[in-house]
Structure 1
Amino acid sequence: MTILLYAMTAILYAGLAVASWQGYRRDAALVIDGAGGARMPAGAGSNALHWPLQGVLLVALVVHGVLLHQTIFRADSMYFGFAYALSAMLWLSVGIYWIESFFFPLDSLRILVMPTASLACLMPLLFADNRILSFAANPVFKLHFIIANMAYGLFALAALHAMLMLYAERQLHPARAGERSGGWLTRWLDTLPPLLTLEKLLFRLIGAGFVLLTLTLVSGVMFSETLFGRAVRIDHKTVFAVISWVMFGAVLVGRQLYGWRGKVALRWVLASFVTLLLAYVGSRFVLEVVLHRMTER
């Protein structure tokens, strides 16, 4: 049953990626470049496919959610590791994307999000090592776990947005005078929403993620007090989580007070996300994969 859920989830995401690619090719054909030429709105050619694909995406999210629940929560224990964290992070990212796509024209972004989710959902099969957490039934821990993963999902989607916007900025302001570089990726940018729309969505994601990250730190203190008898445990997870919280807060303050935007804000977002990854996913990857393989030699 579990293998079937893995296969269904990966196939659904991959199918959405293929459908999105075909939609991109149709939309790109409608874009007329050149002086005096007209440009079709982003996603203009994909309206007929929007609602069916939204329905398929909802099915994929449900199947992926059932898969995560069955593989992570078993009896009164919880199996978790960096591969499960990545899978859960992308599941939440796709869920957030699905909700936001009803308010913003984000159909073209499926080309970026769906293949990533298809690969991430299979990661637990490739890296089976995990931690068995006997205290998973603790309600405070469950609250902490859910909030933390929601924050991860928001920031993961924000990081994808930031990378896309950095590339778009480079194409709009090439290092040398002349035409923009050709290629399918450049043409794909022409089917995306305007940069201002993407920037507005980016800071909405960061704002919501910052609130959830704050709640993660607070619930972590509560969980540590309940389980270990002390409010704060100074370890790598706590240090990197606090650093990333400060960095994301600086991004929001810089945006509000100094009008940060463009490359400065985007690079801060990516640096903050990398720091957040080091708080759990990166450290677990080193412990479970790198060091484990070294000890096997």
Structure 2
Amino acid sequence: MSLILLHLLPATFYVALAVFSLPRTGARHSDGRHIAALLLFTALCSHAFALGEVMLGDGEFHFGLSIALSLTLWLAMLFYSLESLVRPIKPLLSVVSIASAVFVVLPILSPGHPHTLDAGNWAFRMHVVVAMLAYSLFTLAVFHALLIAAAERHLHGRTSVSIEHALPPLLTLERLLFRLISTAFTFLTLTVASGVLFSEQIFGKPFTLTHKAVFGIASWLLFAILLAGRWHRGWRGKTATHWLLAGFACLLLAYAGSRFVLEYILNRSI
């Protein structure tokens, strides 16, 4: 029961943060920012503590699909908090907070079959860290892209929901989006390259072209095409969003898909 409450605590803070971040009138901007920052800091700290308990609580290093998803959203929120120091985006904060509230309780509600990692294998641990950084940045980029798409739909009169008053200019949002994608692509490149070139040191076996490797390389290629299209042809809007979503789908299938089959269909960890 105490472990459940440990995960419900950050979920509660995330929900409160999402509600507080909704556009409001009549509130002082400076006070609002201070309260949002306090809620965000508390949610991140309590989420990190809950993750530490499920990953390292018994002295061993456990990792599985639900833990990976929870960690991905924690890192996405952490990156948002750093981004908000320069330019806070309240609608984005509301959406990511709700997603974080859901995924923070996932390791308790649906733990699956996480496997125990070799804590002494530093190559593997660094590979996991870099991969999680790539996943979290691409996750935040997808939320950015969907927010831009919603704002563009409103500008073209195809939705009655007004959010553009709470957003920076679209060109600024697009620059932020591709900054996220470029950084995430760097981490993904390191992840794919290390998995291919140092497979024996990381996984203890030679590299083989499994479906996980195929989807991982496919996602790298799709993101590379997206960035090349942005730099050479100025891709933006729907074109950029479609390539981003396609690459993100392949990235999810590369890890989340294989882990879901193992943990929830085959009922095993490895």
Q: Same fold (TM over 0.5)?
A: yes
The 3-state SS of whatever aligns with 2:62 is strand
Deviation at 1:84, TM superposition (A): 1.2
Deviations 1:112-156 (A, max 9, x none): 111111011011122121232342331111111111101100000
Larger mean CA deviation between 188-197 and 91-100 belongs to: 188-197
Please list, as runs of the form range in 1=range in 2, the aligned pairs for 1:111-260 lying within 5 A after superposition.
Answer: 111-174=94-157, 181-182=159-160, 186-221=161-196, 224-226=199-201, 230-260=205-235
SS at match of 1:280: helix
What is the aligned length?
267
Q: Deviations over 1:8-65 (max 9, x none)?
A: 21111111112112xx1327xxxxxxxxxxxxxxxx9533211232132122112211
8 Å CA contact 1:87–1:121 kept in 2: the answer is yes
Alpha carbons 1:96, 1:154 under 8 Å: kept: yes
Letter paired with 2:41: L
On the 8 A contact 2:66/2:107 being kept in 1, the answer is yes
What's the secondary structure of 1:64's corresponding residue?
A: helix
Q: Distance in 2 between matches of 1:64 and 1:223?
A: 32
By how many angstroms is 1:96 displaced? 0.5
Q: CA separation of 1:162/1:290 partners in 2, compared to 1, >3 Å: closer, same or farther?
A: farther
* Structure 1 alignment gaps of length 5 or more: 28-43, 175-179, 293-297
What is aligned with 1:12? 13
- 8 Å contact from structure 1 (residues 140, 222) kept in 2: no
Aligned to 1:92, what secondary structure does the other structure show? helix
Separation in 1, partners of 2:109, 2:198: 31
213-222 or 251-260, which deviates more: 213-222
For residues 3 and 201 of structure 2, the distance between their equivalents in structure 1, rounded to whole angstroms, comes to 34
Cα distance, 1:188 vs structure 2: 2.7
Aligned-residue offset at 1:83: 1.3
Q: Which residue of 2 aligns with 1:25?
A: 24
Percent identity reads: 42
* TM-score when normalising by structure 2: 0.90
Q: Which runs of 5+ in 2 are unaligned?
A: none
3-state SS in 1 of match to 2:76: helix
Q: Which residue identity lines up with residue 275 of structure 1 in the other structure?
A: C
Q: For 2:203 and 2:188, how far apart are their aligned partners in 1?
A: 21
Q: Distance in 1 between matches of 2:9 and 2:204?
A: 43
Q: Which of 62, 76, 84 is the matching residue for 1:101?
A: 84
* Displacement over 4 Å in runs of 4+: 227-231
Q: 1:272 to 1:134 in 2, by over 3 A?
A: closer
Q: Following the alignment from structure 2 to structure 1, what is the Cα–Cα distance between the partners of residues 198 and 81?
A: 31
TM-score in terms of structure 1 length: 0.82
Q: Deviations over 1:224-253 (max 9, x none)?
A: 221555442321221111110111111111
Measured on the aligned residues, the alpha-carbon RMSD in Å equals: 2.2
- Judge conservation of contact 1:141–1:223 (CA < 8 Å) in 2: no
Structure 1 residue 275: Cα displacement: 0.9
Change (3 A) 1:228 1:83: closer
Cα distance in 2 for residues equivalent to 1:86 and 1:189: 30
One-letter amino acid of the counterpart of residue 128, structure 1: P
Structure 1 residues 180-232: Cα deviation after superposition (integer angstroms, max 9, x where no partner): 542xxx22333222211111110010000000011112332465221555442
